[in-house]
């Protein structure tokens, strides 16, 4: 196909690290590997990025687990916006640095782990109030609690509920909804809550 040179070939349009001090670092020339994980058993997209660092980023930053990562990746042969992995507005958050090794003269190789920003917002938020409506409506409310601006794909649920969230995290409310929800249109009672590169699904 036009633009492709090898299987798995991709074009990295943007890879920037924003440190806790506000400094923006272009990582494009330092990236050795990027892995992004999607799983219907996980509530958020996670991943890791392997860097070859010759400018002592961990000292200049430093990396303390509160950094933002902007990524924009696309397949060279695809130009449709829906086929572009774009996390420049809804950025990832770096949550750990591991496997740091020396690779030569003043060069370090290390792995940065990242996850969706909604996971961090979820950890910092507690819900303690009465909630009314269908479970699909309540899920949308909970995603608003974690400041989700991504696409949301929700299968409507039947019935109206009135529940009291007893000082728990928004995603815990959603997990409760997955266990108790019944589809409005289908007889299958099983619901899942997960994130893909396209957005959140319930």
Q: Are residues 40 and 109 in the same domain?
A: yes
* Helix axes 170-180 and 135-145, enclosed angle (nearest 10): 160
Highest mean pLDDT among 3-7, 40-44, 97-101: 40-44
Residue 41 lies in a domain: yes
| Last residue within a domain, chosen from 84, 117, 150 | 117
Query: Which tokens is 18 given?
Result: 């924003």
**Pair (25, 112) in one structural domain:** yes
- Which of 85, 86, 87, 111 has the alpha carbon at shortest distance from 98? 111
> 31-37 and 46-53 as β-strands: parallel, antiparallel, unpaired?
antiparallel
| pTM for this entry | 0.84
**What is the tens place of the pLDDT at every residue in 78-94?**
777 777 888 989 999 99
Residues 45-78: tens digit of each pLDDT: 999 998 887 666 766 666 777 789 999 988 877 7
The range of the structural domain enclosing residue 20 comes to 11-117
| 3 state DSSP class of 139 | helix
Residue 2 in any domain: the answer is: no
How far is C-alpha 48 from the geometric centre of its chain's CA atoms? Answer: 11
Q: What's the angle, vertex CA 87, arms to CA 85 and CA 89, rounded to 5?
A: 135
Tokens of 76: 């060279």
pLDDT exceeds cutoff 60 at 2: no
């Amino acid at each position: 196909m036009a633009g492709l040179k090898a299987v798995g070939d991709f074009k990295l349009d943007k890879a920037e690290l924003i440190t806790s001090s506000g400094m923006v670092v272009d990582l494009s020339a330092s990236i050795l590997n990027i892995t992004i994980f999607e799983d219907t058993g996980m509530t958020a997209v996670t991943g890791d990025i392997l860097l070859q660092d010759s400018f002592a980023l961990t000292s200049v930053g430093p990396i303390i687990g509160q950094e933002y990562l902007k990524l924009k990746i696309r397949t060279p042969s695809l130009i449709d916006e829906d086929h572009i992995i774009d996390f420049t507005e809804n950025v990832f958050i770096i949550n750990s640095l591991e496997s740091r090794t020396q690779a030569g003269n003043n060069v370090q190789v290390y792995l940065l782990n990242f996850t969706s920003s909604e996971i961090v917002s979820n950890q910092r938020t507690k819900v303690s109030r009465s909630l009314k409506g269908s479970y699909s409506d309540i899920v949308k409310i909970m995603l608003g609690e974690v400041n989700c601006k991504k696409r949301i794909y929700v299968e409507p649920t039947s019935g109206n509920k009135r529940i009291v969230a007893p000082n728990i995290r928004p995603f815990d409310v959603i997990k409760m909804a997955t266990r108790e929800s019944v589809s409005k249109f289908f007889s299958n009672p099983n619901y899942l809550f997960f994130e893909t590169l396209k957005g959140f699904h319930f």
